[in-house]
Amino acid sequence: MKTVQDTKKILEEFKKICEACGIKLTYQRLEIYRVLLEARDHPSAEDIFARVQERVPTISLDTVYRTLATFEKFGLIRKIYSLDEKARFDPNVSHHYHLVCTKCHKITDFEWPEVDNLPLLPAIQEWGEVQDRYLELRGVC
């Protein structure tokens, strides 16, 4: 669980990255990212909109969608798809995997260093260049 200090540090880093990428950091964009940081459930755009709207009543769903697309384009967040086929968003862009509950659709992050360190199979190496590894385990929580 993130502490207030962790959140502040992450937000400061986020601001620096936005500046370096030329992303104008508006209050609305900052609140969208803050909601993502506070979320523990990999929220959908609609979920994010509802939560941000509590703080910024004038925000539109379109603004949330466009902001999420911008954040994803610059690698600030990751889009993942859940069992209900809704795009969900993850502010944790470090290497990790997901556990997905097939009953409630909850998505939980986990790390698995042993898998990270496995060599690729020869057939995969011959196929081409692997740029990312993604693993999703499904079951019932």
pLDDT digits (tens, 9 = 90+) for 80-136: 987 777 899 999 988 899 999 999 888 999 999 998 888 989 999 899 998 888 888
Rounded CA separation 111/93 (Å): 12
26 and 56 assigned to the same domain: yes
Residue 77, both tokens: 């967040």
51 and 69 assigned to the same domain: yes
77 and 110 assigned to the same domain: no
**Tally of structural domains, the chain:** 2
80 and 17 assigned to the same domain: yes
What's the domain range around 119?
97-139
Helix (H) or strand (E) holding 40: none
33 and 101 assigned to the same domain: no
Report pLDDT digits (tens) over 12-66: 999 999 999 999 999 999 999 999 999 988 999 999 999 999 999 999 999 999 9
Residue 79, both tokens: 């889009």
Angle at 15 between CA 23 and CA 90, to 5 degrees: 85
